[in-house]
Structure 1
Amino acid sequence: MTDPSANTPKTTLVPFLSVRNAAKAVDFYKSAFGADEIRRHEDPAGGVMSNLTVNGYGFWVADEEPQYQKFSPETLNGGTVHMVLTTEDPDAALNRAVAAGATVVCPIRTEQAWRIGRVLDPFGHHWEIGKPLKESTEPSHQQAPAK
């Protein structure tokens, strides 16, 4: 007998970042975070949409599309969300991002049982970079501290 739930799609939540220059953003994310490009679509007008992964966790990057109300933080003069990148060595990851062109918003520090800092990428997106310092079964230790 076949399990009917086997055909039910798994629920996922994947960030989709809008930027002004997606081709340049893809290069930045590769350099800054070691992202791998899984697939890329280029439209005839030169727009790019790319699916990237960092250590198996995916996100999308695409050129903004004002006609669909998809704007970059540069156009909006700021963003409403930021990404959280959990990594074994946040100090090295933050330094790599800065070397690739990110700006430090908050240097790496220890706060709320995390080693964490924040950078602003050249396209206006904020990235918290850190790791929890204590192993815990509490869900709150699996999420970055609130800002």
Structure 2
Amino acid sequence: MKTLITPWLSVKNGAQAVVFYKAAFGATEVYRMDAPDGSVIARLSVDGAEFWVSDESLDNMSPLSLGGSSARMIITIADPDTLFARALKAGATEVYPISEEHGWRIGRLVDPFGHHWEIGHPLDK
């Protein structure tokens, strides 16, 4: 078994977050549990890269409740321009546009739940 680090995003309104990540990044549901109170725990996959999403809880607050986040997600993909545009169309907000800097073609956006995503790929040297 290889070692993986898989992020778990806490959000307000997990059901809406799952819909957003499907529309923005083409995510698929690998696992989903819906609680009677409407909260959701879901494992999502974007071309095999997995992450978890759930409604915030007492010890796992969302960036919206905290007033910011201490981490960013990075999606490394061959065509960052297309995925970036797709995420904006789905409701993300641009932090900075796709450009070439620091050896990457990359841009940054924030999703409606307060999580920051950098989308890009390293440039050939």
2:6 aligns to what?
14
1:3 aligns to what?
none
1:114 aligns to what?
104
Mapped partners of 2:22, 2:107: distance in 1: 20
Secondary structure at the aligned position of 1:79 is classed as: coil
User: Under a length normalisation based on structure 2, what TM-score does the superposition of the two structures give?
Assistant: 0.97
2:44 aligns to what?
52
- Cα deviation, residue 11, structure 1: 2.1
1:82 aligns to what?
72
Secondary structure at the aligned position of 2:4 is classed as: coil
Secondary structure at the aligned position of 1:25 is classed as: helix
The CA RMSD over aligned residues, in Å, is: 1.0
Whichever structure has more strand as a proportion of its residues is 2
User: Under a length normalisation based on structure 1, what TM-score does the superposition of the two structures give?
Assistant: 0.82
Report how many residues are paired.
125
Task: Flag as ranges the 4+ runs of structure 1 deviating above 4 A.
Answer: none
Where do 5+ consecutive residues of structure 2 fail to align?
Answer: none
Where do 5+ consecutive residues of structure 1 fail to align?
Answer: 1-8, 136-147
- Cα deviation, residue 26, structure 1: 0.3
Higher relative contact order (CA 8 A, sep 6+): 2
Q: Deviations over 1:81-131 (max 9, x none)?
A: 010001111111111000000000010000011100000000000000001
Mapped partners of 1:10, 1:85: distance in 2: 20
Mapped partners of 2:39, 2:23: distance in 1: 21
Mapped partners of 2:77, 2:2: distance in 1: 25
Matched, 1:103 2:93: yes
Whichever structure has more helix as a proportion of its residues is 1
2:61 aligns to what?
71
Larger radius of gyration: 1
Mapped partners of 1:45, 1:34: distance in 2: 27
Mapped partners of 2:37, 2:87: distance in 1: 30
2:26 aligns to what?
34
